[in-house]
Amino acid sequence: MNESMYKYMKVGLIHFMAYPNTMKGDGPIEETIRKIAVDDYFQAIEVTWIKDAEVRKKVKAMLDTSHMTVAYGGQPTLLTQGMNINHLDPVERKKAFDQLKADIDEAYEIGAKGFAFLSGKYEEAKKEEAYQALVASTKELCAYAKKKGSMMVVLEVFDYDIDKKSIIGPAALAKRFAEEIRKEYDNFGLMVDLSHIPLLHETVEESLLPVKDYIIHAHLGNAVMKSPDLPAYGDAHPRFGFPNSENDVEETVKFLKVLLDIGFLNTKNPPVVSFEVKPVGDEDSDIVVANAKRVLNEAWARL
């Protein structure tokens, strides 16, 4: 592709994955967000909960100054606390819902344009009940977010049988779900992730084409799934080209090509496409981020 990728998308980075010691809402949040804010490769950043109100204030000031689009990931607040938004126990479900409501408040506080979350685990025998619980929870979240402003609510599609074991899930169910929510709420959409596609046992086309009308956000990443004995097995988001992994430049090219073909990548309203990469072992976060940039640069040049 001869044209600049910045005409077609806002390149972002998921802060809490690149710097995982911030994932629980504390740690070196300010200094690591500053690294991203001063890097003009990135036009967008995805952050998660920041427990300290003073740190939140400083981060908001940095982000306001940066001219980056900000998105908020509620996934860590659920995953690190073992919460499930489609839990069949109403008490447990309410815990997750209350956490996500607090996340939405925080997302508005820092100026986020989108808020993402994930569906939870389920029992196969009670799958439809879990699905209906998810529908009810998501509608409540969309209504809550809509009352406060124009921020989009985004469900990220995860694996259903390897690592996160989320109900959403395979493309067919993701489509059914998105159709159902979008009938009532125009502030809802889906997030797709290159790293989750092999974990879903789907090709890029199988994963994206059924839900093409509902995709509003995308992630670029990698996964290991050949054997549970391998380092970074599952939904660990290792760097591109990690040993025994699924995604590198070629797979990134395919993913971007389909996103272009379906009109998701476009010049009228360029969407956020963020790297979701995480250091493994003692890898250096900054080098892992540089790896991702090189892969995207090469993949875009090959389109």
Say what the pLDDT of residue 1 is: 87
Range of the domain at 226: 5-302
Cα(249)–Cα(253) distance, integer angstroms = 6
The b-or-e profile of 138-147 (16+ CB within 10 A means b, else e) is bbebbeebbe
The DSSP letter of residue 271 is P
Quick: pLDDT tens for 127-169: 999 999 999 999 999 999 999 999 999 999 999 999 999 999 9
Q: What is the average pLDDT across 59-63?
A: 98
User: 107: exposed, middle or buried (C-beta count within 10 Å: 0-12, 13-18, 19+)?
Assistant: buried
Whether residue 46 is predicted with pLDDT greater than 90 in this model: the reply is yes
What pLDDT band is residue 248 in, cutting at 50, 70 and 90? very high
pLDDT classification of 23: cutoffs 50, 70, 90: very high
CATH number at 149 reads 3.20.20.150
Of all residues in the chain, the percent with pLDDT exceeding 90 is: 99
Token pair, residue 195, equals 């790293």
**What's the pLDDT band for 117 if we cut at 50, 70, 90?**
very high
What's the domain count of the chain? 1
pLDDT of residue 45: 98
H helices of 240-284, where?
A: 249-261
Kindly report, residue by residue over 210-242, the tens digit of the pLDDT.
Answer: 999 999 999 999 999 999 999 999 999 999 999
pLDDT for 205 beyond 90: yes
Confidence at residue 129, expressed as pLDDT on a 0 to 100 scale: 98
Average pLDDT over the chain reads: 98
Please, are residues 75 and 156 in contact by the beta-carbon 8 Å criterion? yes
Q: Which one-letter amino acid corresponds to residue 93?
A: R
* Mean of pLDDT values over 252-262: 98
DSSP bridge pairs for 272: 10
Q: What is the DSSP string of 133-202?
A: HHHHHHHHHHHHHHHH-S-EEEEEP--SSSSS--S--SHHHHHHHHHHHHTT-TTEEEEEETTHHHHTT-
Asked if residues 183 and 176 have their Cβ atoms less than 8 Å apart, the reply is no
User: How many angstroms separate the CA atoms of 84 and 118, rounded?
Assistant: 9
Residue 274, helix vs strand vs coil: strand
- In angstroms, the CA 214 to CA 173 distance is 13
pLDDT digits (tens, 9 = 90+) for 25-34: 999 999 999 9
Are β-strands 188-193 and 152-156 bridged in parallel, bridged antiparallel, or unpaired? parallel
pLDDT digits (tens, 9 = 90+) for 184-197: 999 999 999 999 99
What whole-number distance in Å separates Cα of residue 132 and Cα of residue 127?
9
pLDDT over 70 percentage in the chain:
100
Q: Where are the beta strands (DSSP E) in the chain?
A: 10-14, 44-47, 69-73, 114-118, 152-156, 188-193, 215-220, 272-275
Q: Does pLDDT of 281 surpass 90?
A: yes
- Looking at the predicted structure, is the pLDDT value of residue 292 above 90? yes
Average pLDDT, integer, range 262-284: 98
Mean pLDDT of 34-47: 98
